[in-house]
Amino acid sequence: MEHTSDHAYAIFEEQQKNRGINMDVVKQKIKSLKIETPSWGYGDSGTRFKVFKKVGIPRNPFEKIDDAAVVHRLTGACPSVAIHIPWDYVDNFESLKEHALANNMKIGAVNPNLFQDDDYMLGSVTNANASIRRKAINHLLECIDIMKEVDSQYLSLWFADGTNYPGQAHFRQRKHWMLEALQETYQALSPDMKMLIEYKFFEPGFYHTDLADWGMAYNLSNQLGEQALVLVDTGHHAPGTNVEHIVSYLIDEEKLGGFHFNSRKYADDDLIVGAINPYELFLIFYQILDAGQDRNPKVQQVADGISYMIDQSHAIEPKIPAMIRSVLNIQTQYAKALLINLSEVKEFQSKNDVLGAEDAVRKAFEMDVTPLLQTVREEQGAPAEPMQAFYQSGYQETINKRGVGGSSW
């Protein structure tokens, strides 16, 4: 049976072949792109001022997996869901893993929570109180035990540790405490596990953050070992930061482990991926795909092994459609980046042709990849238009029976 998108794709395919693009490779790479969604992205959330409670929110981690499975079925791209402890704590993690498998899903990264306990007001692993530091480390070790139960390979670490005022704490001592805590945690990892270290330049500490930028996370990962890598959250940078340059540098140093995708206008706004600056997302993928063709096989391996995760706080948006929109935006910019003729770009670069190289990159960004993505989804057995399919599915009306509030955090 011929789909309505077949004719449009045939024209698109011919155009790209004439540009020297191997469309079989492009389609296969799109199909191989896996994007992990976060359990907390399906729950109630809000701002520093209020949590907005909505109808149909999951009441437990099992229902979060149910919602994540819907996103995967409609997009064909999200086979795993990250969990946050203790938000997603259950008495039997084996049953949670089995529930995921029954939904053709798996548990992805395990994220410790070291910022919501009252004891952590002045820091967790960098707190001046030794008993609080011990409590925080024990929680990290607990999360590794949970990883073993759910077959997770990623321990995803973000620390809210920081200060608000000059003189409040001793910078270098806190640096040493951070390393000591992560050294003990690192030693508990199984050989197939990876520790992803995230950074953030401010908030909730407004004067300083203990892991403020990629350089600090990179240095820490180097001291820990090969299983420790840097995680780049696209919202955790100062305005104007060249994130794609950081990505390229970390890949070349063989230390980029994963992403938390979201958007920011001013700070850590946690908006829908690609909503504010889709060109940045496109350029990030450009650097990754270019590194995937590097002569150094280790660099290729790093570029091909990146874990792509969404980290968002949907405060005003309906949860599942917002997640679908993020996934579609990621797929769109990834598909566009695949249409960059890298050989053409490098030829212009070798000649110092500034405008030629810039045009070779930008014209891929300006292409309409709708026919390509529709065709890929249909070949995967997913609907060509996932958002439309969700609204027509009746799933939202079904989960509205859960009531208001769900599992608030």
Q: How far is CA 233 from the centre of its chain?
A: 7
Q: Contact at 8 Å (CB) between 121 and 77?
A: no
pLDDT value of residue 3: 59
Distance separating alpha carbons of residues 303 and 163, to the nearest angstrom: 35
Distance separating alpha carbons of residues 303 and 56, to the nearest angstrom: 38
Q: Which residues contact 157 (CB under 8 A, 6 or more apart)?
A: 111, 112, 140, 182, 195, 196, 197, 198, 231
Q: How far is CA 125 from the centre of its chain?
A: 24
Bridge partners, 155 (sequence order): 110, 195
Per-residue pLDDT of the chain (409 residues; tens, 9 = 90+): 445 578 999 999 999 999 999 999 999 999 999 999 999 999 988 777 888 889 999 999 999 999 999 999 999 999 999 999 999 999 999 999 999 999 999 999 999 999 999 999 999 999 999 999 999 999 999 999 999 999 999 999 999 999 999 999 999 999 999 999 999 999 999 999 999 999 999 999 999 999 999 999 999 999 999 999 999 999 999 999 999 999 999 999 999 999 999 999 999 999 999 999 999 999 999 999 999 999 999 999 999 999 999 998 878 999 999 999 999 999 999 999 999 999 999 999 999 999 999 999 999 999 999 999 999 999 999 999 999 999 999 999 999 999 997 754 4
Distance separating alpha carbons of residues 331 and 66, to the nearest angstrom: 22
Please provide the CATH number assigned to the domain covering 34-339: 3.20.20.150
> Position 155: which residue type?
L
pLDDT value of residue 6: 86
pLDDT value of residue 147: 98
Q: Is the pTM of this model over 0.95?
A: yes
Longest dimension (CA), the chain: 70
Bridge partners, 37 (sequence order): 81
